[in-house]
Structure 1
Amino acid sequence: MTILYGHEHRALQDEHDSRRLADLWQQMLIHGELAPEEQGFIASRDYFFLSTVDASGWPTVSYKGGAPGFVRVLDARTLAFPGYDGNGMFLSAGNIAENAKVGLLFIDFETPHRLRVQGEGEIVREGELVESFVGAAYAVKVRITDAFVNCGRYIHKMSRVETSRHVPTEDGQPLAEWKRIDAVQPHLPERDKAPAAQAGELTIEQYGEKVVAGTT
C-alpha cells in the first residue's frame, strides 16, 4: 500500500477535523489486493475512467470502453485491458510508458457503486496477452498498489445505455467516421487510407452534422 497522506492532506484533514476519520478509512478500506466481489465487479464493467500523468507531471483522464469483461483480473493484484484503435495521439499509453502511475475508476450508475484502483501500468506491445484481446493494438497490464470502494452517494443514478457499435468483435470494427473527414484523410496511417477513401469523404461540417445526429 502506498503512503496516501502527505503534509497538505493532513493540513486539510486537521482544518476540517477529519484526521481520525481519514486514518480509519485508510485502515478499514484501503488494500493492495482485490477481494473476490471487487474482481467480479470489475469483470462486469464495460467502461472505466483512466487517469495518467505525463513526464512533466500534468495529468489527463480518459474514458475507456469495451464489451463487458474487457478489463480482466489476471490475479488479485493485477489487471489488464486492451488498447483499441484511437485518434493516434496515444496520450494515455504514452503517459504510461513515460510514468507508470495510473488510477482507474469503475462506476455502476445503476446501483450506484464505485471502486477506485491505483497502481503501476505497463504497455505490452505483443504476445499472448495482446492477442487474447480482439481488436487490440496493445495491452496495458496494471500492478495494483491500492484499491478501495468509494461512497456512492453523489453518483447520479442512470439506466444502462447501449453498447457502442465500435467495440471490436471477431467480425471486425466499423470505420470511425472522423477518418472520412477530407482534411484528415491525407494524414491517416496507411492501413486506414483505403477504407476511409472507400467510405467516402466528409467535410468537417458534414461530420459535425453526423455528431449532432448521433450517427457517428
Structure 2
Amino acid sequence: MAVLYGPEHRALQDEHDSRRLADLWQEMLIHGDLAEDEQAFIASRDFFFLSTVDAEGMPTVSYKGGGAGFVRVLDPRTIAFPGYDGNGMFLSAGNIAQNPSVGLLFIDFETPHRLRVQGEAELVRAGDLVESFPGAAYAIRVAVTDAFVNCGRYIHKMKRLETSRHVPNAEGDQPIAEWKRIDVVRPHLPGQDKRPVESAGELTFDQYAAKAAAGDS
C-alpha cells in the first residue's frame, strides 16, 4: 500500500481533528487486492475517469467510455482497458509511457456508488491483450496498489444514459468522428482516416457546430 498521508495531510487532519478518523479509514477501507464485489462493479461499468501525470509532474484527467465490461479485471491486482480512436494527442497514453502512476474513479450514478483505484500503469502497444479489445489502438494494463470505496452522499443521482454510438462493435468497427470531416482538420488527419473521411464528405466548422448542437457528432 502506498504512503497515503504526508505532513500536509496530517496538518489538515489535526486542524480539523480528523486524524483518528483518517487512520481508521486507512486501516479499514484501503487495500490492494480487489474484492469480488469490487471486481464485479468494475466489470459492470461502461465509463470511468482516468488521472495521469506527465514527466514534469503536471496532472490531467480524462473520461474513458466503452461498452459495459470494457475494463477487465485480469486478477485481483490487475485491470486492463482499451485505448480507442481519439483526437491524436495521446495525452493519457503518453503520460503513462513517461510516468506510470495513475488513478481511476468508477462511479454508478444510479445507486449511487463509487470506487477509487490507484496503481502503476503500462502502455501495451501490440499483442494478445490489444487484440482482445476489438477496435483498440493500444491497451493499458494497471497493477493495482490501492483501492477503496468512497462515501456516495455527494454523488448526484441520475438515470442510465444511452451508450454512445461511437463505441466499437464486436468487430471493432465504429462510425467516423464528425470532427474529422471539418475542412481545416482534414489535411492533418492520419493516413488511415483519409479514405473514410473522403467518403463521408467535408464539413465546414459551422456545419459541424450545428450537427454537434443537434447531438449528431
- What band does the TM-score fall into relative to the shorter chain? over 0.9
Q: How far apart, CA to CA, are the structure 1 residues paired with 2:44 and 2:204? A: 39
Structure 1 vs Structure 2 CA RMSD = 0.5
Does residue 198 (structure 1) correspond to residue 194 (structure 2)? The answer is no
SS at structure 2 position matched to 1:118 = strand
Amino acid at match of 2:36: P
SS at structure 2 position matched to 1:51 = strand
TM alignment of 1:117-128, pairs within 5 A: 117-128=117-128
Cα deviation for residue 121 of structure 1 reads 0.4
Amino acid at match of 1:177: E
SS at structure 2 position matched to 1:104 = strand
- Structure 2 counterpart of 1:186: 187
TM alignment of 1:4-43, pairs within 5 A: 4-43=4-43
Normalising by structure 1, we get a TM-score of 0.99
SS at structure 1 position matched to 2:20 = helix
Cα deviation for residue 194 of structure 1 reads 1.1
Amino acid at match of 2:204: T
Q: Deviations over 1:130-183 (max 9, x none)?
A: 000010000000000000000000000000000000000134110000000000
**Percent identity of paired positions between Structure 1 and Structure 2:** 77
SS at structure 1 position matched to 2:85 = coil
Where does structure 2 lack aligned partners over 5 or more consecutive residues? none
- Structure 2 counterpart of 1:173: 174
Amino acid at match of 1:215: D
How many residues align? The count is: 216
Spell out structure 1 runs of 4+ moving beyond 2 A: none
Does residue 153 (structure 1) correspond to residue 153 (structure 2)? The answer is yes
Q: Which is further off, 166-175 or 41-50? A: 166-175
Amino acid at match of 2:161: V
Q: How far apart, CA to CA, are the structure 2 residues paired with 1:12 and 1:165? A: 45
Normalising by structure 2, we get a TM-score of 0.99
Q: How far apart, CA to CA, are the structure 2 residues paired with 1:199 and 1:79? A: 36
Where does structure 1 lack aligned partners over 5 or more consecutive residues? none
